[in-house]
Structure 1
Amino acid sequence: MPLPTDEQLIANAKEVIALFHQAFGPHPGFRPGHAKGQLVRGTFVPTKAAGDLSRAEHFHAPSTPVTVRFSNSTGLPLIPDGDPHAEPRGAALRFHLADDKTTGHRRHTDVIGHSVPAFPARNGVEFAHFLRAIGGSEAELGAYLEKNPPAKTFLTYPKPLTQSFATTPYFALTAYKFVNKDGKETYIRYELEPVAGIHTLPEGTDVKGLDPEYLFKELATRLKAGTAAAAAAQGPIKFKLVAQLANEGDPTDDISLQWSQAGHRKVELGTVTLETLVDDNATEQKHVIFDPIPRVDGIEPSADPMLEFRAAVYLLSGRERRAA
């Protein structure tokens, strides 16, 4: 995963990392955002429709190993799962592709999303402004939100408390370009839809009465000791990976502008089945750096400026994490 060469973009990424540290404190070895998380492993099985849309290898293989990281918001590694600030939840999905035959290097492509279909900023500069506004006074934040509708939409979007990582939808809002074997191009946005259905905690739930680890303990209960015990409990966990296809005129270069849920065709790309927790979770989380840029033939980045910016933030913060 190479670091972008744009010096201004790198400076912007470093500024945002510093703003996260300023807001949540330095926590060496943890991510500046979505610090509290758990890695799980499983497999992806594609549909025929996925292969029709893209020539990417994991859409044509019988199955592909995957790793998913579920997480809470904020840069606080110990944030209680019932804290409203832990919303929205995150899910990062990694497809483990065949190793490079020439170099032997491991290859992968990732999908990164969170549990609301909204994002507060169009690019890295705007995202830094958003973080500063959140850290300012109530009046300053209010004035900022009135001038920046996507930020207001993101902050005010309904965020009921998550019942389980396994019953939560996740939206990867950056557009990508699928290219099939005939060269046909289709812009899409990914969604992860829980096969178990969408379930949240009832409105009015006493958050003080919740176990501060209730989500991660529930995840472990579903997946403990592998598939046999999981079957005896509630697991495995399954998600449908879905592509929302762009309509004519839909913005493909702006993560902050929503595509309507109505009037858009959705194509099921396959099923993600999660069966086991990653054993050495703390060490693995410190090491893994997710990449929003696809870097696989058949899936191309759009012109969305958040792609390179997020790649820089993830790589720079990942280097910090590994060095801790």
Structure 2
Amino acid sequence: MKKIRGCHALTLACVAIAGGANAQVDGPDTNERLVNVMEKLAGGPHKGHRANHAKGIVVRGVFVPTAAAAALSKAPHFNKGSVPVTARFSNSTGVPSMPDADGNASPRGIALRFHYTERAYTDIVSISYNGFPSATPEQFLDFLNAVARSGPKAAKPTPIERYLAAHPKARQFVTTPKPMPVSFARQSFYGVNAFRFINAQGDKRYIRYQILPVEGEQFIADRDAARLPANHLFDELRARLPREAAQFRLVAQLAQPADPINDGSQVWPTSRETVDLGRIVLTTVVEDSAGAERRLQFNPLILTEGIEPSDDPILLARPEAYTYSIERRSQP
């Protein structure tokens, strides 16, 4: 896959332009059509893999909450000494063999599962870019279909060029540099959807999650990243965890009344108050990571008391789109 000028660490848009996809993909409903077009843009479907964030690794550890977390929400994992955590780090796109240094491998992802009892859990799904290119599933599908019609033979300006010119949030998502981190453990992740926290007294606050590396962020220059092995981030994590944990702070950014809680394309100001919810300490790569990936279906709407969804249409659409993806990768 060749690198496109101006497509430094971008998204599926560059995958499609580099791969030459050139036809709109239709399906019976918006969520299935999203999965269809993601598979086509990735040159798939790739058997046994997700339609997006196909390349991943599953690890385990614990979450230790702060007292401030319990004051903000009555969720059980915020009110225990510690709870087990399952996490999956991933690269973007549905290309399972994409080198980690490829600009299209970002934004990267982390999905977290907090096991607050033996059989009950709640999930968080986040990416390494603070924001989303679209406010609704329909807009996101329009974005991807514009990409799919913008192969090398498309007339100028191409459909994706016209789309980005008319949609500044999508243009910012695509053009913002997203360098490769030295490790998954040195990358920040952001929940682009809002949730409502409810504490034991019934007080309610809307929040967005931030997952911030305890060691701080650290990135690699593009020219240096290009010389690294294709699986550098995954190999680095496997080598790191036996000797030292990957640690993150789970943070809640608190909304003010004027902040949009139903549009992930609009980022809340950095001046908003944040609350440290606790520390995520990841220590072990699961023995059969590939098998665990096939079985796991993270779902940000698997919630518990003390956490409620916002009416963000992207958030509400995620479980159905994920279901289409897992059904396909589970087929023999």
Q: TM-score, normalised by structure 2?
A: 0.87
Percent identity reads 41
Task: Tell me which amino acid in the other structure corresponds to 2:204.
Answer: E
Q: 1:233-244 alignment to 2 at 5 Å?
A: 235-244=244-253
Matched, 1:275 2:275: no
1:117 CA drift (Å): 0.5
Matched, 1:135 2:144: no
**Paired residue for 1:15?**
33
| Alignment counterpart, residue 176 of structure 1, candidates 183, 195, 201 | 195
1:129 CA drift (Å): 0.7
**How far apart in 1 are the matches of 2:46 and 2:106?**
20
| Alignment counterpart, residue 269 of structure 2, candidates 260, 268, 277 | 260
Preserved contact between residue 294 and residue 300 of structure 1 (Cα < 8 Å): no
| Alignment counterpart, residue 317 of structure 2, candidates 298, 309, 312 | 309
**How far apart in 2 are the matches of 1:145 and 1:202?**
27
**How far apart in 2 are the matches of 1:157 and 1:176?**
26
**Paired residue for 1:318?**
326
Q: 1:70-109 alignment to 2 at 5 Å?
A: 70-99=89-118, 106-109=119-122
- SS at the partner of 1:173? coil
Residues paired across the two proteins, number: 299
Structure 1: 5+ residue runs without aligned partners? 1-8, 100-105, 224-229
> Structure 1 10/310 Cα, relative in aligned 2: closer, same or farther at 3 Å?
farther
**How far apart in 1 are the matches of 2:39 and 2:214?**
36
1:268 CA drift (Å): 0.3
**Paired residue for 2:139?**
126
Structure 2: 5+ residue runs without aligned partners? 1-26, 151-156
Q: TM-score, normalised by structure 1?
A: 0.89
1:215 CA drift (Å): 0.6
| Alignment counterpart, residue 124 of structure 2, candidates 70, 90, 111 | 111
Structural RMSD (CA): 1.4
Task: Tell me which amino acid in the other structure corresponds to 2:264.
Answer: I
| Alignment counterpart, residue 239 of structure 2, candidates 221, 224, 230 | 221
1:204 CA drift (Å): 3.6
1:162 CA drift (Å): 2.0
Preserved contact between residue 181 and residue 217 of structure 2 (Cα < 8 Å): no
Task: Tell me which amino acid in the other structure corresponds to 1:291.
Answer: N
**How far apart in 2 are the matches of 1:47 and 1:206?**
36
Deviations 1:222-273 (A, max 9, x none): 11xxxxxx23xxx111000000000120000111111111x21010000000
Matched, 1:26 2:45: yes
1:316 CA drift (Å): 1.8
**How far apart in 2 are the matches of 1:273 and 1:290?**
19
**How far apart in 2 are the matches of 1:10 and 1:91?**
29
**How far apart in 1 are the matches of 2:252 and 2:82?**
18
- SS at the partner of 2:169? helix
**How far apart in 2 are the matches of 1:178 and 1:92?**
19
**How far apart in 1 are the matches of 2:131 and 2:264?**
8
**How far apart in 2 are the matches of 1:206 and 1:300?**
40
Preserved contact between residue 112 and residue 172 of structure 1 (Cα < 8 Å): yes
- SS at the partner of 1:240? strand
| Alignment counterpart, residue 249 of structure 1, candidates 243, 246, 258 | 258
Task: Tell me which amino acid in the other structure corresponds to 2:32.
Answer: K
Deviations 1:101-151 (A, max 9, x none): xxxxx3211111111102111111111111112223262111101111111
**How far apart in 1 are the matches of 2:164 and 2:47?**
32
Preserved contact between residue 287 and residue 321 of structure 1 (Cα < 8 Å): no
